[in-house]
Amino acid sequence: MLRNTETRWGSVAQAFHWLIAALIVVQGAIGLTMVELGTTPTKVRVFALHKSIGLTVLALVLLRLAWRLTQRAPREMPMPAWQRAAARLSHFLLYVLILALPFSGWLFNSAANFPLEWFGLFHVPGLTRGLDPVLKAFALRAHVVLFWVLVAVVAIHVAAALWHHYRQRDDVLRRMLPSPRKRNLFRRQGVLP
């Protein structure tokens, strides 16, 4: 099913979730590595890659939100009110963070007056009128702080998903995974182990 059902996230929502999750892990790894590099063309290329993936994440998150708003989410699992509130809050925070993080990077890049080319294919305009040292310093700080906040919220998100799956033995994680039939199909095709 492409669309969400009462009990499961549809394949579009799942694709967005896992693709964006994977790209964010890659972005974190590149981001933490690239700042340690010396001033070489390799550094320039790695930064360019980080920017291109970041813009991709931003676009995917916007598409994901648009898709999310066109339909209902699956029914919420029965759980205590505080857990429901915590889940809603963390999901809301995750959306905000995965929007704000690439945006702050784009803002930093603009205020620093660096080039911006999406995978070398087309120019992406800056958000400022060239160099702006004050905004640049603010955007860089925001980018770093937002990243570590994201790491913390993702850690809670992952821990909660695993807790639901292994302790509560409910469907919270399973309904964000392909159905058993599809999982078998993926295994035969070698996509899943």
Partner 1 sequence: MKPRIVLALLLLLPAGAFARTWKVDPAHSSLAFTGTYQGERFEGRFKRFDAKIDYDPGDLAHSKFDVTVDIASVDTANTERDQALPGKDFFDTARFPQAHFVTTRFRKAANGEVLADGTLSLRGVGKPVTLVVGFAAQGNGATLDVGATLKRLDFGIGGGDWADTSMIGNEVTVRGHLLLQP
Decide: is 78 part of the binding site for partner 1 (CB under 8 A): no
CB of 26 to partner 1, least distance (A): 21
Q: Which stretch binds partner 1 (CB under 8 A): 19-27, 68-76, 81-89, 112-120?
A: 112-120
- Largest CA-CA distance found in the chain, in angstroms, rounded: 55
Decide: is 125 part of the binding site for partner 1 (CB under 8 A): no
In Å, how far are 6, 114, 147 from 89, measured between CA atoms?
21, 35, 18
Tokens representing 183?
């999982």
CB of 109 to partner 1, least distance (A): 11
Whichever of 75 and 141 has its CB closer to partner 1, that residue is 141
Give the x-and-dash track for 29-58 against partner 1 (CB under 8 A).
Answer: ----------xxxx-xx--x----------
**With b meaning 16 or more CB within 10 Å and e meaning fewer, what string describes 3-34?**
ebeeebbbebbbbbeeebbebbeebeebbeeb
Instruction: Return the amino acid letter for 88.
Output: R
CB of 130 to partner 1, least distance (A): 6
Whichever of 133 and 193 has its CB closer to partner 1, that residue is 133
Total residues belonging to the chain? 193
What radius of gyration, in Å, describes the C-alpha atoms of the chain? 19
Decide: is 115 part of the binding site for partner 1 (CB under 8 A): yes
